[in-house]
Amino acid sequence: MARLPRLVIPQALHHVIQRCHDGISLFRDDDDYQTFLRFLTQAAKQFRVAIHAYVLMPDHVHFALTPSDEQGLSKMMQHIGRYYVPYFNHKYQRGGSLWQGRFKATVLQAESYFLPCSVYIETNPVRAGLVSETADYPWSSYQHHAGQRLDPLVSDHPIFWALGNTPFQREANYKEMIAASVSAKQIDVLTEATNKGWLLGTTDFKVDMAKLVERRIEPAKPGRPRKQV
């Protein structure tokens, strides 16, 4: 069966996952993380992609982002691969790609899914056992959202700003969400939708988004189509 084109809708919120090959660590020291972030920052600016939340894990990366056009997301990811992979291969005397196939992405209705997605992304290191507290992991957007540092990569999403009228209110409310984390069901829904490229949102949202793309945005209903009489 032919592979569906990746679902990308300009000005809509997307969740993106890029994994590396099994048995390979994307990052082996702090310089690797910093170099990746430098290339990501350059690419996001060049291709006009707003990064709202991110985490760099040892074997994969997550982003919540908004592309300004249909090509920007793919161009940003290509830019990262074009510069980070040669850097990594030269440094560690290896060859070949780092990536486990093409990156995964889907569109999310921001009102329903931005905050769960952002919390899911930033609490990933805790679930993986890398740190005991989200604030202890330096390679994510959490410290920016918690007011611990200003991250030049992050473009705050309007949903985050709606958490409070002052930075203190926003940060306090967001910290409560991080402490509560996300449910296993929310994680499964976000992961499955992203891996399969199916849009997440209300029926009305799906109807509106379907008008903008030339592909299915959710799985077909099981069973054979009903014959027209």
Could you report the per-residue pLDDT of 188-215, keeping only the tens digit for each? 999 999 998 889 999 999 888 888 876 6
CA distances in angstroms from 198 to 106, 110, 193, 211, listed in the order given: 6, 15, 5, 15
Can you give the pLDDT at residue 179?
95
Which residue stretches of the chain are H helix?
30-46, 72-92, 110-122, 124-127, 142-145, 158-161, 167-180, 184-196, 203-210
Q: In terms of C-beta density within 10 A (0-12 exposed, 13-18 middle, 19 or more buried), how is residue 115 classed?
A: buried
Give yes or no for residue 1 having a pLDDT over 50: no
Give yes or no for residue 221 having a pLDDT over 80: no
Can you give the pLDDT at residue 218?
72
Can you give the pLDDT at residue 119?
97
State the DSSP code for 142: H
152: which strand partners?
none
Indicate the range of 10-14, 76-80, 94-98, 132-136 predicted with least confidence. 94-98
User: Which CATH number does the domain 13-208 belong to among 3.30.70.1290, 3.40.50.2000, 2.40.30.110, 3.30.70.100?
Assistant: 3.30.70.1290
Higher-pLDDT residue of 110 and 197 is 110
State the DSSP code for 156: -
The tens digit of pLDDT for each residue in 125-177 reads 999 999 999 999 999 999 999 999 999 999 999 999 999 999 999 999 999 99
Measured in whole angstroms, the distance separating CA 187 from the mean position of its chain's CA atoms is 13
The whole-number average pLDDT for the span 24-31 is 95
